[in-house]
Structure 1
Amino acid sequence: MLARTPILSIRVQPAPPRRLNKDRRRALIDKLTEIMQAAEPTPFAAEGPCRTGVRQSLCLQGWQWAYADAAAIDVVSAALSIVGAKRPNWYEGQPEWTQPGALPILRERCARCGKPLPEENRLWCSDVCAHAAKMDRQRQRWGEEAYSQWKANKAAWIERQPARRCEGCGGMFKPKRKQQRFCCYVCAANDRRACG
């Protein structure tokens, strides 16, 4: 008969949750606020891409996914509250929503090609126009999401860069590119004049 070996249980302590420091959090919120103010048609259009960009940047810095996601939710929520974004209810979120008491727009022509509408259709003259309009909206949304995600990722990259000394004026600045040597265009232009 084989002797039983005791099973030793090893307890692994979970890693403490990571948080953004106060200055970095404030800088990210400010940058995300700028992105969300420029988002069309509402600030919520940039919510998902900004969250993805911040989370992606933190994960690339070695954060665990759950902690990076929690930090991304925190800064995106703070930016939305600064912008004053109010989530619409379900009814207001529908594409055909109009102000209460207002009549919906009745179309006589196709919203895509301008041909007369058949009696049974409300927006498009055919399935081809409906599909093409849907793909146009999808392409536009993909482009806006990709741009918002890139801006959020870049903001997170800038915030983790150490400050550098400007070769023109000697002031400290955070670089926006890897090889950036000057804090602004004025310092760079003055350096070119001195060289030439």
Structure 2
Amino acid sequence: MGYWSGYDDYRHGPTKKISLAQVFKGAPRKRLVADIVNMVRDYRRTPYEHEGSIQAGIRSALCLAGERWPVADDEARGLLAAAFKKTGVKRPGWWEGQAEYTAPREVCHWCFIELPEDLRRSGKRSAYCSMECVNRAIAKRVEGPKGQGDPVYKACHAAISRLRAKPRDCEHCKKPFRSDRSYQRLCSKACRDAARTTVEERCCEHCSTVFRPHVSKKSEDAGAGKFCSSACRWAYERKNPPTYECACVLCSTPFTGERKNAIYCSNRCLQMFTRMRQGEWPKRMNTPLFDYYFITLAKRQEPTPLTTEIFDSWFQDAA
């Protein structure tokens, strides 16, 4: 126990919630809650318009019956809370009771005049029309610490950023707007949706069904979006296998392959290149080998593993 132990409870009251014994229990409490629910539902403007009179009446009746005032007040609050919970109504917060909550989005939340056009066309619209209204709202409406959690302070902070921004033209509708984001190019969600690149409808190359492909412009330029489904694409490729223009890695001969990564034009080049990679050099000079050393490797600018002995032996064999 420290020197200041118990001071907070003495100065601000106990932090632990004190619970008092209920006066009504069981079936009598259920009947009383049902009667309060019927009274609460009989309202004209809000379900809470009879809360004060019901609580005062229950508290007065309990006090006249001999209960202490704290017990009577706690019992009245508990009965009303059970009745509101049964009706399913939600108590409005402090922000929902302010004038800004019901103000239209087209008017200033302080002076209630219509906002300028450039402040209304910035996606999330400004709540104030000028810095004067913002300063008055901060001074009069914001109470306590001005934190980011306060709705009025958040609206004022956003309005200050938007009022300080320079007007710019929307890239779609060419109308002026002001935004607190420097990278924003469009003034509203409608302009953003209209400015999006849409792919036109087309017929499937396999089944001729009209569809709209869900591909980007870049993918469409690369050849995507030709079929309505994967099944149609597979069926089309089985009947018409795709071909690709390739060049042989050994003799640099252009050829048409069925795969993008095809690197040999014939089985002869495949076997010869495999033996060369294993260290088995051909004994005689031939056309593919000559093209590989003096054309293919020259294009790649790679040092050739050709030695003087191998080169002399080819010419001796040829002679």
TM range (shorter): 0.3 to 0.5
With CA pairs under 8 Å and 6+ residues apart, which has the higher RCO, 1 or 2? Answer: 1
Q: Which has the larger radius of gyration?
A: 2
Task: Report the TM-score when normalising by structure 1.
Answer: 0.40
Taking structure 2 as the reference length, the TM-score comes to 0.26
